[in-house]
Structure 1
Amino acid sequence: MARRPVTVRRYLLGMELRRLRMTAGVKQETAALHVDMDDSKLSRVENGTSPISKPELVELLKLYGVREGEHELFDFLVALYREARKRGWWYQQRGVIPPSVQQLIELESSATSMFQFSLTVVPGLLQTENYARALISAFPVPAPGSVEKAVEVRMTRQRILAEDAAPQLVCVLDEAALRRQVGGPRVQAEQLRKLVTISDPPRLTVQVVPYSQGVHAGMDGGFKLFSYPDPFNLEFAFVEYLDGRIFVEGDGQVDAFTRTADLLRTQALSSDDSLDLIARIAEDLEKVD
């Protein structure tokens, strides 16, 4: 398990700077001296825990043989630097949104593709307002009004799915998540109808692992995977538990989640068959209501 980076973009920038330095055969102390920076500061920059100025970035790139006008990578990394300096909407509410949730939002806003598996509930990015309110209300809350604030944040997070550059999302659900009546049959049916409506493969794919599958690869619990494009080809995993969330990085650790995700997709029904099952359960709930 790894310490959570300050921002994903800063982490990616630092990681690429470290890769370029090592490829160029430049020692860390030499690079730090080149930009009048101490070794510990450069180490933090490469770990994504300290910011870097644009002049420092440009000088390091020159030292590593990546020059303006000569390499597309130069323009890409300068653009990434600018993005890393931007503060998303969640930053303005940092006193309200827990740090671990801020990190989740940052991961969602930066990824090009996402995978989510849930055993018992529909994930936040796909929830209706009524479903989210009923679900959040079932947990202890720290202060009056915090339920509505949490619902507001969750609905705001969903805007990313409507953007032109929205990440590709695959959501795999255990059938139990469809049948557990969060907020009662009417709220649950409304939620299931939303899943059918918003499903749009390959942009947004919903699959269900049916009860008939029996034991499956996700029995230990839900998780999220976030993927990032070239030149990084990087994935992060995110695991939620009762009192927080764990951020997982590193090929060896993330590979287990990637293999599980791939297996779950083969154990789940196809997208079309999944939507048929979801619609049938919604219809049954509407009859109850």
Structure 2
Amino acid sequence: MAGLSFVHTHLGIRLRALREFAGRSPYDVARTPNIGSRSALLRLEGGETRDVLMPVVDHLCRYYGADRDLRHELNRMAIACSDSGTDAWWEPVGTPTWAGLLFELEPKATTISTYETESVAGLLQTERTIRALLVANPRLTAQDVDDLTRKRLARQSRVLSDAAAHSPMCHFVLSEAALRRRVGGTDVHAEQMKHLKELDRCPTVSVSIVRFDVGATPGTAHPFVLLDFPKDYARTVVYSESALGATYSDALDEVTTRKGMFKSIRAVSVPIGDFVLWR
């Protein structure tokens, strides 16, 4: 599926997912104010509506029962459609996990390829590791920590659980630095290492490590995630984070570059089962 731009495409995908979750047919929605017709709705969902109107998107979000945070994000996308011909989307720091695009993309992917340099990838973290990382943020209350921990574990279940309707192939390459940082102390760290090795034995998960003695690699300072999808869903997406927020792109040159980087990095990594973390 390819709309007029990245934002058009993924706004349409998210609106369709909301409609289907709400149990509404295109005919139901076409009878509501502001939509016009079934064909107009399907063009919007297909990313083919050039002039997306924010009031229309807001109406649909309310009609489908979207919460305030998700409604805010989709309205931002609608506004961006009016001046966006780019193959990228940006989310600021503080965007709630469940309202972010990544939360919706991960379960739909056929393959997720993740490279991390400074910490264990979020999908691989134990509950105690998650809590230790969150507690280190002085701005979070105890209730915030509990809520965010629950949501991050739910995110893992959506992608990695054997009970998930669709489990993508997940390839994780971690820098040795990510394993040497003893987040939460010795016991939590030992539990995390054991968990990584257990996950690596799952048929849809591989975990490998780039050792320090490898030296420089193409992605030494650039963590990123590649998400591949069925051809009728969306093009491959590159996801990356910074101190200011998260960026998504399906630009061909960036996707090609990142795929080459991941292939090169993974080629010099070793399976976690063969990796020994010397003190």
Pairing of 1:12-31 with structure 2 (within 5 A): none
Alpha-carbon shift at residue 234 of structure 1 (Å): 2.1
Alpha-carbon shift at residue 253 of structure 1 (Å): 2.2
Helix, strand or coil at the partner of 2:236: strand
Q: Does the CA contact (< 8 Å) of 2:239 and 2:249 recur in 1?
A: yes
TM-score after normalising by structure 1: 0.64
Partner of 2:110: 112
Structure 2 unpaired stretches of 5+:
18-35, 54-62, 71-93
Partner of 1:21: none
Partner of 1:226: 227
Alpha-carbon shift at residue 143 of structure 1 (Å): 5.0
Helix, strand or coil at the partner of 1:229: coil
Structure 1 pair 100/158, CA: closer, same or farther in 2 (3 Å)? closer
Task: Provide, for residues 30-50 of structure 1, a one-character-per-residue CA deviation record: whole Å limited to 9, x for no partner.
Answer: xxx997759xx7698426996
Alpha-carbon shift at residue 129 of structure 1 (Å): 0.5
2: distance between equivalents of 1:193 and 1:86?
42
Alpha-carbon shift at residue 248 of structure 1 (Å): 1.1
Structure 1 pair 229/3, CA: closer, same or farther in 2 (3 Å)? closer
Partner of 1:187: 188
Structure 1 unpaired stretches of 5+:
13-32, 52-84
Higher alpha-carbon Rg: 1
Alpha-carbon shift at residue 276 of structure 1 (Å): 2.7
Task: Provide, for residues 82-135 of structure 1, a one-character-per-residue CA deviation record: whole Å limited to 9, x for no partner.
Answer: xxx988xxx66847x825652111111211110111001111111100001111
2: distance between equivalents of 1:151 and 1:238?
22
1:191 partner amino acid: Q
Deviating 4+ runs (over 4 angstroms):
1-4, 7-12, 33-38, 41-44, 47-51
Partner of 1:156: 154
Partner of 2:268: 267
Task: Provide, for residues 223-279 of structure 1, a one-character-per-residue CA deviation record: whole Å limited to 9, x for no partner.
Answer: 11111013457200110112311111121222111111111111211x2xx2231xx
Q: Does the CA contact (< 8 Å) of 1:10 and 1:48 recur in 2?
A: no
Alpha-carbon shift at residue 159 of structure 1 (Å): 0.8
Helix, strand or coil at the partner of 1:145: helix
2: distance between equivalents of 1:122 and 1:265?
16
Between Structure 1 and Structure 2, the one with more helix by share is 1
Q: Does the CA contact (< 8 Å) of 2:12 and 2:47 recur in 1?
A: no
1: distance between equivalents of 2:11 and 2:122?
23
Identical-pair percentage: 26
Structure 1 pair 244/100, CA: closer, same or farther in 2 (3 Å)? farther
